Structure 1
Amino acid sequence: MRNARPNLVGVNIYGGLGNQMFQYAAGLTLSERLGAELCFDIRHYERKDRGDRRLGLRDFGIELQSARVPPFKIGRRIATALRLLPTPFRGGTRLVSVEGFDPRFLKLTAPAALSGFFQSWHYFEGHEASVRRAFDIKRLATPRTAELAAELAAARNPVAIHIRRGDYTNSPETVAFFGLLHAEHYFAAKAALEARVERPTYFLFSDDPDIALAELQGWQGLRPVTGFSAYEDMHLMSSCRHFIIANSTFSWWAAWLGAAPDKLVIGPKQWFGPDYPYPVDPTDRSPPGWLMV
């Protein structure tokens, strides 16, 4: 790949599964719009400092053709012809996404390079069917999930509740940056859901289930789901009919992939903490029909 390839879209992939899915969805949409070949830079997962992140896109059976894509640098957002882009994107366009939907995405031409978060459903608006085909949630099922998946399918109104803690709690600085939802949000969401849904049954998913249960003390009939991998959790969460999500791309995707046509998704109005440095458009994370409390 020594020369520029005019019919190419490249995406820099990094972060946890939810971030990977937003990045892939944006690349897939752009490649479909431009009629271009899609490729990915996955070198992040070869680094020793990647932490516990893994390349979860492959669990969906997605083949990732490799290419070198310009790295993401926070604070930069550009969409212009750049002579310094590495081949095969030299002379092409580039978009760096820091926060929300950037309408310049609609003006990109091939070859195009994408780096950033792309955390908005607007990036794949009009291409939802292709994204759902790519993220076939059934591929995340395992023999271990079969029994609970069957129980969820038989329940009248199973509700997935997600409490995200993990790296959000590393320090006061990360709490102020990402935001940490507490019982007030979840009980407000519960009241909003029960005003619309009859006889719900609640299933709690969390990366720290003991603290999550303590946080929701007094919630009757709340059943913790434990002992599964994150990818099994996403399958089981998406198998529910309704959703109370955290400020987490992981639970966002589990809710979005939920197949019930009458599903109710309730999320937080305040997605980030008070120290988050970028303006946030709440519609980026609330597709039509979702409720934010």
Structure 2
Amino acid sequence: MITTRIIGGLGNQMFQYAAGRALALRNRDSLAIDRQAFADYNVHAYALDFFVLEVPDAPAGLAVPLGADSRWTRLLPWRRPVRHVVEKGLRFDPAVASQSGNVYLDGYWQSERYFADFADALRRDFQFRHAPSPANAEFVKRAAADNTVSIHIRRGDYVSNPNALAVHGTCSPAYYEKAIATLMEECGSDMVGFVFSDDHAWTRENIRLPIEMVHVEGNAADKAYEDMRIMAACRHHVIANSTFSWWGAWLDPRPDARVIAPARWFADPGMDATDLIPARWNRLQVELGHSAVTC
């Protein structure tokens, strides 16, 4: 059995599920999830039940206790060992993707290389369980029209929390201006941008783009998946340094979709996210601003 630990926001949970699901499929094995960390985690809620995927919780006696650091943890009722695989860094680790037997994955696994060979199966798993509300259904319909682009502007704790700002930074207006200019050259000037943000007031004041901009508002944090559904319906994508919009772009299966991502994912120069952006996406380089920004 493959067990994957689930924690963090929706995007991180999807990476953790995807790595575990792909490893289970690679081994023709079953997958279980360990979500016990949410018992005392108040930042985000477990969110994978927004998708049609069906995955059981790790059975009692199987999940590795929080804080376990041994390579082998004997917890199965019949005393077979569980290999506790802890993420060593941000780069793709091929040894993780080749594990077999009873494996407990403990990390974020933020690289498509952990699951690209099962992309079709994962996109089926990540279909949304419930139909959109009427307002969101209208956004989806409009987003699915020709020459639309999702634009994600992540602020929130990236701005309000000094530690998060130092690690992540925020994408500058110059990044979005250059991204849209690049897309207009490739795809035409009649583009319509669907703007997703946790700070629409700031976005309206500071992000001025030479295209029509539709601000997607009204979905509370517990309905964030609705924004992701609309993102994925757009024809092209300009993502922030956020796993949420990473997945909004990745769920779009069209091979000719243009995705623009920041060349730097973290403001912290010690964090190497080289393997996070798929090679087929456009990594956009722009100069850093005076505040802590990543792109």
User: What TM-score results when the alignment is normalised by the length of structure 2?
Assistant: 0.86
Q: Distance in 2 between matches of 1:146 and 1:204?
A: 16
Q: Deviations over 1:182-225 (max 9, x none)?
A: 10111111111111111211111011111122220354422211
What is residue 177 of structure 1 aligned with on the other side?
167
* Aligned-pair Cα RMSD in Å: 2.2
Q: Distance in 1 between matches of 2:29 and 2:253?
A: 29
SS in 1 for 2:81: coil
What is residue 279 of structure 1 aligned with on the other side?
272
Residue pairs, 1:22-37, within 5 angstroms: 22-37=15-30
Residue pairs, 1:129-140, within 5 angstroms: 129-137=120-128, 139=130
Quote how far apart the aligned CAs of 1:174 are.
Answer: 1.7
Quote how far apart the aligned CAs of 1:256 are.
Answer: 0.6
Q: Distance in 2 between matches of 1:64 and 1:131?
A: 13
Q: Distance in 1 between matches of 2:15 and 2:133?
A: 24
SS in 2 for 1:146: helix
Contact 1:92–1:109 (CA<8 Å) still a contact in 2? no
Q: How many percent identity over aligned positions?
A: 36
1:264 aligns with 2:258: yes
Task: Note closer, same or farther for the CA distance 1:258–1:83 as it changes in structure 2 (3 Å cut).
Answer: closer
Match of 1:82 among 48, 68, 71: 71
Amino acid at match of 1:243: H
Amino acid at match of 2:178: A
Q: Deviations over 1:144-202 (max 9, x none)?
A: 3111222223x320110001112212333321101211101111111111111112111
Quote how far apart the aligned CAs of 1:246 are.
Answer: 0.2
1:205 aligns with 2:196: yes
Residue-pair matches, total: 275
Task: Note closer, same or farther for the CA distance 1:11–1:140 as it changes in structure 2 (3 Å cut).
Answer: farther
Contact 2:37–2:66 (CA<8 Å) still a contact in 1? no
SS in 2 for 1:50: coil
Match of 1:41 among 34, 47, 61: 34
Runs of 4+ with >6 A deviation? none
Contact 1:137–1:257 (CA<8 Å) still a contact in 2? no
Match of 1:237 among 210, 231, 235: 231
What is residue 251 of structure 1 aligned with on the other side?
245
Task: Note closer, same or farther for the CA distance 1:9–1:138 as it changes in structure 2 (3 Å cut).
Answer: closer
Stretches of structure 2 that go unaligned for 5 or more consecutive residues are 285-295
What is residue 182 of structure 2 aligned with on the other side?
192
Task: Note closer, same or farther for the CA distance 1:265–1:24 as it changes in structure 2 (3 Å cut).
Answer: same
What is residue 141 of structure 1 aligned with on the other side?
132
Task: Note closer, same or farther for the CA distance 1:72–1:175 as it changes in structure 2 (3 Å cut).
Answer: farther
Stretches of structure 1 that go unaligned for 5 or more consecutive residues are 1-7
Moved more, 109-118 or 97-106: 97-106
Q: Deviations over 1:57-87 (max 9, x none)?
A: 101022331225336769x8xxxx8343533
Moved more, 171-180 or 261-270: 171-180
Task: Note closer, same or farther for the CA distance 1:217–1:209 as it changes in structure 2 (3 Å cut).
Answer: same
Match of 2:98 among 68, 85, 107: 107
Q: Deviations over 1:90-130 (max 9, x none)?
A: 52323222413111113312101101100000000211111
Q: Distance in 2 between matches of 1:239 and 1:138?
A: 16
Q: Distance in 1 between matches of 2:210 and 2:67?
A: 43
Quote how far apart the aligned CAs of 1:42 are.
Answer: 0.9
Task: Note closer, same or farther for the CA distance 1:215–1:130 as it changes in structure 2 (3 Å cut).
Answer: same
Contact 1:138–1:235 (CA<8 Å) still a contact in 2? no
What is residue 12 of structure 1 aligned with on the other side?
5
SS in 1 for 2:193: strand
What is residue 123 of structure 1 aligned with on the other side?
114
Task: Note closer, same or farther for the CA distance 1:218–1:148 as it changes in structure 2 (3 Å cut).
Answer: closer
Q: Distance in 2 between matches of 1:223 and 1:56?
A: 26
What is residue 42 of structure 2 aligned with on the other side?
50
Amino acid at match of 1:271: W
Quote how far apart the aligned CAs of 1:251 are.
Answer: 0.3
